[in-house]
Amino acid sequence: MEKVAKTLDARGKFCPIPVMETAKAINEVKVGEVLEVLATDPAADPDIKAWAKRMGHEVILSEKTPEGYLRILIKRLK
């Protein structure tokens, strides 16, 4: 289990806000650290995965929690 360096709570926000906030928050963790993103917008999953791939970061986990929201862990690679 990866240690989370920062959590971004984007629940209740809709596209493109979760991706924009993720792009800002990734700069607040060091290279090699993990950013946890919580979101309720179903579009956040493919959007954040596409953004991470484009920016050269790694999505190490994407899951739906028992509470029904999305939890995505992104490792900053550069």
Alpha helices in the chain (DSSP H): 17-25, 44-55
* Residue 51: both structure tokens together: 């953004």
Q: Which of 15, 17, 20, 59 is catalytic?
A: 15
CB 32 within 8 A of CB 75: yes
CB 35 within 8 A of CB 8: yes
5 is an active site residue: no
Catalytic residues: 15
